[in-house]
Amino acid sequence: MMRLTKAVLATLMFVFVGVNAASAQDFTDEDVKDYAVILMAQKAITDKISPYVNSLIEKQEGIDGNRYVELDKVAKGKPANLPADATDFEKQFYTSVQGQVDKRKKAAGTVVSNLAKYTLGGKKYNAIKKAYKSDSALKAKVDGIMAGMSAE
């Protein structure tokens, strides 16, 4: 009985993997390109966050990059989690910077959401996103398109 159960489970796994692989092939080249454009738009926003934070730190007396990194390791983006040894100035500065970071992350999310909705549609976008994580051929194709767009 145990062998039969394992055999049935193994068969179901193969069928599931086969269905997922087949659905990943259902994306047109245009779908894949649209997904790459969405990722590039997101990247265009999020890649500017770290340099922006660094510029804020450089302009502010009383805190340096090392101290900000120490605070961020503990807080992990949440000012309420700042360590007890943080000064009021550090708490205020971190809260202000994190507010700017959150705005930019939210903007990136809004861009992705709108592009996904109006180019691929939510269902297809989510399917490609899922396949991108598990299908190395699709990932390579999307990454290749992105690299080509970056070079332009």
Average pLDDT over residues 50-70: 91
- pLDDT of 89 > 90? The answer is yes
CB atoms within 10 A of CB 124: 17
pTM confidence score: 0.71
- Nearest Cα residue to 87 out of 102, 73, 67: 67
Q: What is the DSSP string of 128-139?
A: HHHHHHH-HHHH
Question: How sure is the predictor about 25, in pLDDT bands with cuts at 50, 70 and 90?
Answer: low
Question: What percentage of the chain reaches a pLDDT higher than 90?
Answer: 71
Model pLDDT, residue 14: 46
Residue 15's pLDDT band (boundaries 50, 70, 90)? very low
- The Cα 128–Cα 120 span in angstroms is 9
Q: How far apart are CA 12 and CA 27, in angstroms?
A: 24
- Average pLDDT for 41-54: 92
